[in-house]
């Protein structure tokens, strides 16, 4: 494993347009830029599986996220995370916010970036308190985002697993370092495993996934 994976990590990722090159020479040079769909799916599965079942390596997680993802943005506000995700290669993003004004603002911001209804959906609702809203949003999301505060992320952790599949990840941020232990505890109590944490000054980000069964 240690002799094969580094080769593919270094040479197969198309860091300009996303996806993976599979036609590689022995020295790692690309001799055909065609990206065959079944090989794209195989590499996403491989590095997702390694990260979930073998070891929580950041480089494996980063390699698995290559574009074409379906994203759910909880507490989307102006839509900045959804828009950024699409600009970075996500196939579609759904932004949810409890404030009805945020829905229109997010759509307007998406349109400014030439992103329209075929790739971005903005809705108003409370996924924590409204069961019907939660049910309507259920589906396969590769990435679920929540850039809010600890007081929202903690109760949100009860419903986040409903939006995750085995190969999905949940990324939450906007967490003060003094509240990080509470957030980690809530995530783990609700069936999530912590993949990584990162701190910048007083603020923290957590990446988590469904607990292995």
CA distance 187 to 25: 43
CA nearest to 72, candidates 122, 111, 25: 122
Dump pLDDT digits (tens) for 2-46: 789 999 999 998 877 777 888 999 999 999 988 776 677 678 778
Structure confidence at residue 38 (pLDDT): 67
Q: What is the pTM of this model?
A: 0.76
Average pLDDT over residues 144-167: 94
- pLDDT 10s digits, 57-103: 878 878 877 767 899 999 999 999 999 888 877 889 999 999 999 99
* Tens of pLDDT, residues 117-155: 999 999 999 999 998 998 999 887 989 999 999 999 999
pLDDT of residue 122: 97
């Amino acid at each position: 494993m240690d002799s094969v994976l580094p080769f593919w990590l270094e040479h197969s990722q198309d860091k300009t347009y996303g996806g993976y090159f599979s036609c590689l020479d022995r020295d790692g040079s690309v001799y055909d830029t065609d990206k065959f769909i079944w090989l794209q799916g195989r590499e996403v599965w491989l590095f997702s599986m390694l990260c979930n079942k073998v070891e929580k390596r950041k480089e494996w997680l980063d390699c698995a996220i290559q574009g074409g993802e379906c994203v759910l943005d909880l507490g989307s506000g102006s839509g900045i995370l959804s828009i950024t995700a699409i600009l970075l290669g996500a196939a579609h993003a759904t932004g949810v916010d409890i404030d009805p004004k945020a829905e229109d603002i997010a759509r307007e911001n998406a349109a400014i970036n030439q992103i329209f209804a075929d790739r971005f959906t903005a809705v108003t609702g409370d996924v924590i308190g409204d069961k019907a809203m939660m049910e309507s949003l259920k589906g396969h999301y590769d990435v679920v985002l929540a850039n809010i505060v600890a007081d929202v992320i903690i109760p949100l952790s009860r419903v986040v697993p409903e939006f995750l599949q085995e190969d999905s990840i949940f990324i939450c941020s906007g967490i003060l370092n003094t509240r990080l232990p509470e957030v980690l505890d809530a995530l783990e109590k609700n069936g999530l495993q912590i993949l990584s944490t990162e701190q910048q000054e007083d603020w923290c980000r957590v990446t988590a996934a469904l607990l292995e069964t």
